[in-house]
Structure 1
């Protein structure tokens, strides 16, 4: 089975989402919706939007950020890519382009259109991992703390449905050095939860 693909699952809603071009005029590389949905999924990763490399390969998390993410989850490449356990449902499905400080924010049209309908196709879902500020803003709303750091630090308040984490990008090395408690305390608990779901 090719990397990036779970066992086949087809649904008319997925076909419509793959063909979505609502914000095409705002996308520098054009639309290429990237997500992974299957009714057997137990964990869904909700992040900002695909980066340029993901846009070019059409595979999410097949990069240094993805390697760190799998370390945090405590799973192998095969468990992540080749089983229907892990869903991928970014706030924006398409690469939004580059800004001054990194990628632009996800397009605002996307989440209202697709988040709830696609979540409904995963009836066995038990955990939403909220990767970064945009996912946390969308799902936690007023329950967020004043900063991403404080939201992540207080992750237990959002269990069992949500587990907020920082983005695993190599650009976040300084953040992780300044906040060693995340990998010392939060990550082992995340791995414990994921291992229980895999069993």
Structure 2
């Protein structure tokens, strides 16, 4: 909303508001969340929220945008690695699982509460989702080029299956028993998924 560079103190306040919004969304749900509760959690006046964000939709979109951008940036090293495809796939999955485990409230908001916003999938989030999709496409295309993924693999279709499977596992963990860590399951997930797209031997 505000294009001017923020001072350190203003950026800290913006971050506090965003973190509070994530906690409130995760605890109460997007619809039931109130700006006054977000402001109280951030230790600011209610009107201060609107100096940084346009409202609840903007808070949700910003949280999503920043997390996806951070993830795609972190995944860049995985894309460039010289390791075998299955290992790179497992690293990508592990990185995503670790990000879910590191901040369950944010993951809950992004995977569940984001669907409650009428504006979320109406266009504003598409450029961010495209970055995530492109990261997966690069990983898959690299596998095809190296002969590690079957040549007839339809990358958009494989990507959709990959994302869907990841989300199902992540949602099951978020909504169920979190005592079993996600990250150690990355190798098994990658191995199982890879068998479906590996070249015939």
Which TM-score bucket, shorter chain as reference? under 0.3
Give the number of the structure whose residues are more often helix, by fraction. Answer: 2
Give the number of the structure whose residues are more often strand, by fraction. Answer: 1
Greater Rg by CA? 2
TM-score by length of 2: 0.27
